[in-house]
Structure 1
Amino acid sequence: MKLNKTDYVLERASDGGYYAWLTVNMQCNAYGESPEEAVLNLQETMNEMIDEMYMVEEFI
Structure 2
Amino acid sequence: MRLKREDYVLERTSDGGYFAWLSFNMQCNAYGDSPEEAVLNLQQVMEELVNDMYLVEDFV
Name the TM-score, length of structure 2 as normaliser: 0.99
Structure 2: runs of 5 or more not aligned: none
Structure 1 partner of 2:44: 44
> Which consecutive segments of 4 or more residues in structure 1 shift more than 6 A?
none
Residue 33 (structure 2) pairs with residue 33 (structure 1): yes
Q: CA RMSD in A?
A: 0.2
Number of paired residues? 60
User: How big is the shift at 1:14?
Assistant: 0.3
Name the TM-score, length of structure 1 as normaliser: 0.99
Q: Percent identity?
A: 68
Secondary structure of the 2:26 match is coil
Structure with the higher strand share, 1 or 2: 2
The whole-number CA distance in structure 1 between the counterparts of 2:59 and 2:28 is 22
